[in-house]
A and B are shown apart, each in its own frame.
Chain A
Amino acid sequence: MRRTTAATCAALIAALGAGCATSGTSETRQADANAPATITWWSTGGDDETATFQKAADLYAKTHPNMTIKVQTLSWDDAYAKLLAASTSRSGPDIISGGMTWTIQFGLRGGMVDLRKYGIEQLQAQAQPAQWKSAVSPDGTIYGIPLDMSTEALYYRTDLFEEAGLKEPPKTWDELTADIEKLKKSGVKTPFSIDWGNLDWIGYFNFLYQAGGTFYTPDCKPSLNTSQAEQALSYWIDLHREHGAPTDTVTTPDALGAGTAMVYGGNWNALAIDTSKPELKGKWAIAPLPTGPAGPTTFIGGRAVGVTSYSKHIQQAADFVKFLYTDEAVDAVAAESKARNIAYIPPRPDKVADSPFAPEHSAVFAEIIKTGAAAPGCPGWDESASDVAKQLQSAILGKADVKTALGEAAKVMERNAG
């Protein structure tokens, strides 16, 4: 009996071991292109956003009666793990959308289709150039294209500005620090704070590019050992240490509601403030971030969308992804976003002015996006980002000087670049 048990256990373990080794990539057989097809799109975000993309899907289905497109929600919290599980088991959605670099990461591991085979490059002319570049993998393969955009603006309390005798928002770094001091003198306890990217590389990104620096050179060599990078970090540190910007993060509506006069916040706040802080109605406005010595460059994020390599309907799915850039698709998503109060910025700069924000806010976002830049798409960046953020935090919290922190960050980037 004992021997039988031992043999059964051994067989079980052997079978499991064999099972372990079976996962891997293989070509998925394509279904007949003319047969009726149901395409599934796993969209990372909220249910409301899913409903906006479903509008575009329904529009497409009208002209393609053989096709049904189902958009399903993945929450940001567990989307990555679910997409990873789908890639591993090679079963799941035909289309995925999520963080800007996700399609590249899954693509490099064989989980996504190179959309160049399906003529996706023709959309490049319509996209924001920097954002398009960040969606393309370093070797030029296109595993995903931008689905929407997000960016950062200066939110400010017009009533507090008036009390401090300030007529307009700051336009340059010097004006920003001068205004902070004026607001302090007029009794504002916290004149300035950063919401999106506080103590993180995204926060530094704006200052770095506005000072004329970059994380990498165009040929992907780490470039944080420059005087521009030092100038940007020194200015950012001063905002915290000299001018009282909090190191702890408070969301833009909460910060403005609590009496902070200026906040660097994401575009979604433009729709959230009046809803969550009705008492602020008419007391706030937005402007582009103040310009640095080299210009106004601001961070652009967003989501990418692509087709999975394990889809049985790659051709049809790729065709639908292309459809998402048409006027009618963008307009349908924008109209539904407006109805649902969702902060959607389309991936096409020419359509930003029609996005679901108040016209004056849409105009500011359209202005910001013109000179926007996106996250570095260089090899090793995703692995380095958290360590780079840690070095920046060391400098802000006074645990390391500017040069050392940047040097250490550059070292990590070099090591991960391979």
Chain B
Amino acid sequence: MATHTAAPRRRWRRYGTSYLMLLPFLGLFAGFLVWPLVNSLYLSFTKFDGVNAPEFQGLENFRRLLFDDDRFRHALGNTFLYVVASIGIGTLLSLGLALAFNGSSWPHRIMRTIFFLPSVTSSIALMLLWKWVFNPGDFGLANTVAAWFGGRAVEWLATPGLTIPILVLMSVWGGMGYGMVLYVAGLNTIPQEYYEAARIDGAGTWQQFRRVTLPLLRPVTTYVVVTGLIGAFQVFEAVYIVFRGTNNIGGVLDSGLMIVPYLYDQGFTHFKLGYASAIAWVLFLIIFALSMVNLRIGRALKEL
């Protein structure tokens, strides 16, 4: 009996101060992360307009979302297209840039800084700049450049077929510098001896890249893809700022409607906070499942 009570007391004496020091963080963590999370899970099973008390209605929100909501399906399709294109192109370009500028010479450092700049710039400011670039007026950069080559003025932001490509372009431009820095770090950890050994065995540049660089960069690739995936699924500012010209949040014909803007629209413009919470949890499950698949494919769990 005595040993039973003595053990926690000893533990407390040993770790008590640490626990006390952790308390402020734990308090904030519980109040601003755990509580809203649990609350949103509860709300996803309710009908809640933000003012009146939530009304429990079981799985109704999820049923309607998955089987009875064309706009959600449209948003899901758009988001998948956007995620695949922006992650695919973004990762390839990040790797390309890293291979091109991974040295320690000044030109390489300057180029790396230039490509990294968008990552440290306010995303709102960037989106407003993109809005100017694609402005149909004479001061729109895209149309000005098109005119130099004799091209016709294009109504970039009001042509539904161009919405996703423009969103992908903005995402790749803004994100490839960040991916590049991670890849450069990854490249610098590969010992030169491996390349020497490969060369002695007669491997050419392509074979060295394919057989040495790529496999050893796998943990970095997994990290770049998983974090990119999470970010891309949560795209919001780009749609909200650049394409929200009309009453529908997703731009002309909802061509840029993505999951998070749709969630915002349902929750904060239509007072459907229960439904919006259900969308958030479906999004969480999608991101969770895809990240798991990605980690498995990369077989990088150990390396991470």
A382 B157 Cβ-Cβ under 8 A: no
B209 within 8 A of A: no
User: Which residues of the partner chain B approach A291 to less than 8 Å between Cβ atoms?
Assistant: none
Contact residues, B28-58 vs A (CB, 8 A): 30, 34-35, 38-39, 42-43, 49-54
> Digit string of B258-281 for contact with A (CB within 8 Å is 1, else 0)?
000000010011110000000000
> Digit string of A229-263 for contact with B (CB within 8 Å is 1, else 0)?
00000000000000000111110001100110000
The smallest beta-carbon distance between B185 and chain A, in angstroms, is: 37
> Digit string of A204-244 for contact with B (CB within 8 Å is 1, else 0)?
00000000000000000000000000000000000000000
> Digit string of A188-205 for contact with B (CB within 8 Å is 1, else 0)?
000000000011111000
Which of A20, A84, A385 contacts B50, CB < 8 Å?
A84
B173 within 8 A of A: no
B248 A17 Cβ-Cβ under 8 A: no
User: Which residues of the partner chain B approach A397 to less than 8 Å between Cβ atoms?
Assistant: 160, 252-253
A84-B271, A248-B156, A250-B135 known; A389+B247 contact, CB < 8 A: yes
Q: Which of B88-96, B108-116, B136-144 contacts A (4 or more CB under 8 A)?
A: B136-144
Expressed in whole angstroms, the Cα–Cα distance for A1 and B159 within the complex equals 61
A16 B39 Cβ-Cβ under 8 A: yes
B39 A25 Cβ-Cβ under 8 A: no
User: Which residues of the partner chain B approach A19 to less than 8 Å between Cβ atoms?
Assistant: 35, 39
State which size class the interface on B falls in. 35 or more
A24-B53, A389-B248 known; A250+B270 contact, CB < 8 A: no
Number of residues from A at the complex interface, CB < 8 A = 46
B249 within 8 A of A: yes
B155 within 8 A of A: yes
Contact residues, B108-149 vs A (CB, 8 A): 135-139
A20-B43, A250-B137 known; A389+B246 contact, CB < 8 A: yes
The smallest beta-carbon distance between A185 and chain B, in angstroms, is: 20
A84-B268, A248-B157 known; A23+B54 contact, CB < 8 A: yes
B246 A199 Cβ-Cβ under 8 A: yes
Which of B39, B49, B135, B158 contacts A20, CB < 8 Å?
B39
**Nearest CB in chain B to that of A111: its residue:** B51
A80 within 8 A of B: yes
A105 within 8 A of B: yes
A394 B51 Cβ-Cβ under 8 A: no
**Nearest CB in chain B to that of A310: its residue:** B51
Contact residues, A361-418 vs B (CB, 8 A): 382-383, 385-387, 389-390, 393-394, 397, 399
User: Which residues of the partner chain A approach B215 to less than 8 Å between Cβ atoms?
Assistant: none
A88 within 8 A of B: yes
Expressed in whole angstroms, the Cα–Cα distance for A383 and B275 within the complex equals 14
A84-B271, A390-B253 known; A16+B35 contact, CB < 8 A: yes
**Nearest CB in chain A to that of B245: its residue:** A249
Which of A23, A246, A383 contacts B155, CB < 8 Å?
A246
B254 A390 Cβ-Cβ under 8 A: yes
B51 A25 Cβ-Cβ under 8 A: yes
A110 within 8 A of B: yes
Contact residues, A83-122 vs B (CB, 8 A): 84, 87-88, 105-106, 109-111
B50 A246 Cβ-Cβ under 8 A: no
User: Which residues of the partner chain B approach A25 to less than 8 Å between Cβ atoms?
Assistant: 51-53
User: Which residues of the partner chain A approach B268 to less than 8 Å between Cβ atoms?
Assistant: 80-81, 84
A254 B246 Cβ-Cβ under 8 A: no
The smallest beta-carbon distance between A174 and chain B, in angstroms, is: 27
Contact residues, A7-26 vs B (CB, 8 A): 12-13, 16-17, 19-21, 23-25
A247 B51 Cβ-Cβ under 8 A: no
Expressed in whole angstroms, the Cα–Cα distance for A21 and B38 within the complex equals 12
B53 A246 Cβ-Cβ under 8 A: no
A16-B38, A87-B50, A109-B52 known; A394+B136 contact, CB < 8 A: no
Expressed in whole angstroms, the Cα–Cα distance for A23 and B135 within the complex equals 45
User: Which residues of the partner chain B approach A87 to less than 8 Å between Cβ atoms?
Assistant: 50-51
**Nearest CB in chain B to that of A87: its residue:** B51
A88 B51 Cβ-Cβ under 8 A: yes
User: Which residues of the partner chain B approach A250 to less than 8 Å between Cβ atoms?
Assistant: 135-137
Expressed in whole angstroms, the Cα–Cα distance for A21 and B248 within the complex equals 32
**Nearest CB in chain B to that of A90: its residue:** B51
The smallest beta-carbon distance between B2 and chain A, in angstroms, is: 18
> Digit string of A260-283 for contact with B (CB within 8 Å is 1, else 0)?
000000000000000000000000
Expressed in whole angstroms, the Cα–Cα distance for A382 and B247 within the complex equals 10
User: Which residues of the partner chain A approach B136 to less than 8 Å between Cβ atoms?
Assistant: 246, 248, 250
User: Which residues of the partner chain A approach B249 to less than 8 Å between Cβ atoms?
Assistant: 386
Which of A1, A88, A200 contacts B247, CB < 8 Å?
A200
The smallest beta-carbon distance between B121 and chain A, in angstroms, is: 19
Expressed in whole angstroms, the Cα–Cα distance for A325 and B52 within the complex equals 32
Expressed in whole angstroms, the Cα–Cα distance for A24 and B159 within the complex equals 44
Expressed in whole angstroms, the Cα–Cα distance for A76 and B189 within the complex equals 49
Expressed in whole angstroms, the Cα–Cα distance for A371 and B210 within the complex equals 73
B137 A254 Cβ-Cβ under 8 A: yes
Expressed in whole angstroms, the Cα–Cα distance for A13 and B41 within the complex equals 11
Which of B38, B155, B269 contacts A247, CB < 8 Å?
B155
A16-B35, A254-B139 known; A247+B271 contact, CB < 8 A: no
The smallest beta-carbon distance between A100 and chain B, in angstroms, is: 14
B247 A385 Cβ-Cβ under 8 A: yes
A80 B269 Cβ-Cβ under 8 A: yes
By Cβ-Cβ distance, the 5 closest A-B pairs, closest first, are A24-B53, A109-B51, A248-B155, A248-B136, A248-B158
What are 6 of the A-B contact pairs (CB < 8 Å)? A200-B246, A201-B247, A246-B155, A247-B155, A247-B252, A394-B253
10 more contacts with CB within 8 A, not counting A19-B35, A201-B247, are A1-B8, A12-B34, A200-B246, A246-B155, A248-B155, A248-B158, A250-B135, A382-B270, A386-B248, A393-B253
